[in-house]
Chain A
């Protein structure tokens, strides 16, 4: 297997190089290149239709790039199916299996891997505890609140011990009141598990508050990659300068909350 991403960029856990993707002539990704370091929480930030979800789906193996290379942990994964890339994926609407209980949802990935019954049971209990839903294992998804569903989706994605967690608009389906709370919860969880994570969002406040690295997308291109500070203080393109609301960033920095 080819080893990529060990060059000048240093040791990137996820590395996209010159990735292009079109859907029926629509350029969803044009020459996308960026890297995410191990253990980091990165945000793909951009207006809707800017190609951020496509990027996430290509990393997951749900969509195939037309050209360019995708590497995870130094290994080119273009030809490796998503199920063998060591990733966990949280869908925008969580995509919980609606005919399975919470516990069965979490256990599914382990069952597919033919893990022992005892091992599955222990792991499910461990994850239910992690998301503080020990007593709700027997519920069905439709009996849960939006926030609870998100936590289950998170636990389900983590169950098979992935090395990379991908989240598509994880807070979009949650009402504004709880969103903030969940955001902190998710950041803390990801930190506790210590897993490299990439999430998609169109909400800059969300990205600023949660992410270590922000990758700004626009019309299928990467406008800028950097820490929240770098992006706010040194926007490299006109689009970024326009898109990022610096006042809001400063307010956030002072500890005031702008909603």
Chain B
């Protein structure tokens, strides 16, 4: 046992999450009249139609405007495939790195008491707070040729800015807090009693994690992973700044769409967009399954 002050600070939660996973069931209230219901439904439907359905229809119709052949060509274009590969690479790396990081950080903040834990929790949220473009610029100023680490990286022949590592790094950065934010409230709510009980019976750290902690956090973890993946797939700002838009090298799918669009290649732009839409829909379906399982 470490000689650390370990206590459950239930009231002192760092992230009393605004997580959609931890829904509080409200008591039944007096129901508003039917008129209100119809108005609300109408407003929601209108809003969703204008903001979501219409654009989605535009994407699909424009993508198929020149027929299937043109669509197939645009989607199977060499640069599109490369961009898709890079996007997937960045997303998978971001998910892997941030899952491990999120697990460690949320464990640290929920199970241990130490000075500065609130500051640490706030720091982890930085990617949520600052604009991704600024994040990209910060990376250029840190790792670029004239940046702080420029000379060191140059002398070791490591290229980050305008190269694949930069794209991956930027994606990891902007998706940093997702897993952490999903896990923290769940771990805080669990407290330490069950883990202490298991430890007193002689269970080691790994057994405790596998049999007690993991069953508790698995849906939150998966949910965080999905959110993280969704964000990573669509990331534009930070990647745009740091990638240099090198076609076939550092272009991700969203960047590729922009390039195609700027070249007035609208059909191709929408065709590639539709690939992203499909990925997004898959993620959405996965998210809903997880939410449903979680609330079961």
- Interface on A for B, CB 8 Å cutoff? 23-24, 60-64, 81-84, 87, 89, 91-93, 95-100, 108-109, 112-113, 156, 160
Q: Which of B202, B203, B207, B216 counts the most A-chain CB atoms under 10 A from its CB? A: B202
**Contact present for A98 and B194 (CB under 8 Å):** yes
Given the known A-B contacts A23-B7, A64-B1, A82-B1, are A99 and B200 also in contact in the complex, defined by CB atoms under 8 Å?
no
**Contact present for A95 and B194 (CB under 8 Å):** yes
Chain B, residues 176-219, CB within 8 Å of chain A (1/0): the string is 00000000000000000110111111110001000110011000
Q: Which of A61, A82, A96, A112 counts the most B-chain CB atoms under 10 A from its CB? A: A112
Give the chain B neighbours of A95 by CB distance below 8 A: 193-194, 196-197
**Contact present for B198 and A108 (CB under 8 Å):** yes
Those of B1-34 within 8 Å (CB) of chain A: 1, 3, 5-7
B202's partner among A60, A64, A97, A109 (CB-CB below 8 A) is A109
Give the chain A neighbours of B215 by CB distance below 8 A: 99
Give the chain B neighbours of A113 by CB distance below 8 A: 201-202
In the docked arrangement, what's the CA distance between A28 and B198, Å?
Answer: 25
- Besides A24-B5, A60-B200, A87-B200, 20 more A-B contacts (Cβ < 8 Å) are A23-B5, A23-B7, A61-B1, A62-B1, A62-B196, A63-B6, A83-B203, A84-B202, A91-B197, A93-B193, A95-B194, A95-B197, A97-B212, A108-B201, A108-B203, A108-B211, A109-B202, A112-B198, A112-B201, A112-B202
A-B contact pairs, 11 of them (CB 8 A): A23-B7, A24-B5, A61-B200, A64-B3, A83-B201, A83-B203, A87-B200, A92-B193, A108-B211, A112-B198, A113-B202
In the docked arrangement, what's the CA distance between A113 and B200, Å?
Answer: 12
Give the chain B neighbours of A100 by CB distance below 8 A: 211
**Contact present for B212 and A83 (CB under 8 Å):** no
Given the known A-B contacts A99-B216, A100-B211, A112-B203, are A89 and B197 also in contact in the complex, defined by CB atoms under 8 Å?
yes
Give the chain B neighbours of A23 by CB distance below 8 A: 5, 7
Chain A nearest CB from B285 CB (Å) reads 26
Counting from the closest, the 3 A-B pairs by CB-CB distance are A95-B193, A109-B201, A99-B215
B200's partner among A64, A82, A93, A96 (CB-CB below 8 A) is A82
Give the chain B neighbours of A62 by CB distance below 8 A: 1, 196, 200
Residue of A nearest to B194 (CB): A95
Residue of A nearest to B193 (CB): A95
Give the chain B neighbours of A91 by CB distance below 8 A: 193, 196-197
Those of B142-201 within 8 Å (CB) of chain A: 193-194, 196-201
Residue of A nearest to B203 (CB): A112
Chain B nearest CB from A178 CB (Å) reads 22
In the docked arrangement, what's the CA distance between A61 and B3, Å?
Answer: 11
Q: Which of B3, B6, B193, B207 counts the most A-chain CB atoms under 10 A from its CB? A: B193
Give the chain B neighbours of A93 by CB distance below 8 A: 193
**Contact present for A97 and B1 (CB under 8 Å):** no
In the docked arrangement, what's the CA distance between A86 and B19, Å?
Answer: 41
Give the chain A neighbours of B3 by CB distance below 8 A: 64
Chain B nearest CB from A172 CB (Å) reads 13
**Contact present for B199 and A82 (CB under 8 Å):** yes
Chain A nearest CB from B234 CB (Å) reads 34
Chain A nearest CB from B236 CB (Å) reads 40
Chain B nearest CB from A139 CB (Å) reads 17
Give the chain B neighbours of A64 by CB distance below 8 A: 1, 3
In the docked arrangement, what's the CA distance between A93 and B8, Å?
Answer: 13
Chain A nearest CB from B190 CB (Å) reads 9
Residue of A nearest to B214 (CB): A99
Residue of A nearest to B212 (CB): A97
Give the chain B neighbours of A108 by CB distance below 8 A: 198, 201, 203, 211
Chain A nearest CB from B296 CB (Å) reads 13
Given the known A-B contacts A95-B194, A98-B194, are A83 and B7 also in contact in the complex, defined by CB atoms under 8 Å?
no
Residue of B nearest to A84 (CB): B202
Chain A nearest CB from B2 CB (Å) reads 9
Given the known A-B contacts A61-B1, A108-B203, A112-B201, are A97 and B211 also in contact in the complex, defined by CB atoms under 8 Å?
yes
Residue of B nearest to A22 (CB): B5
Residue of A nearest to B190 (CB): A98
In the docked arrangement, what's the CA distance between A75 and B7, Å?
Answer: 27
In the docked arrangement, what's the CA distance between A5 and B222, Å?
Answer: 53
Chain B nearest CB from A171 CB (Å) reads 17
B216's partner among A60, A98, A160 (CB-CB below 8 A) is A98
Give the chain B neighbours of A87 by CB distance below 8 A: 200
Give the chain B neighbours of A109 by CB distance below 8 A: 201-202
Chain B nearest CB from A100 CB (Å) reads 7
Give the chain A neighbours of B197 by CB distance below 8 A: 89, 91, 95, 97, 156
Given the known A-B contacts A62-B1, A64-B3, A87-B200, are A112 and B212 also in contact in the complex, defined by CB atoms under 8 Å?
no
Residue of A nearest to B195 (CB): A95
Give the chain A neighbours of B194 by CB distance below 8 A: 95-98
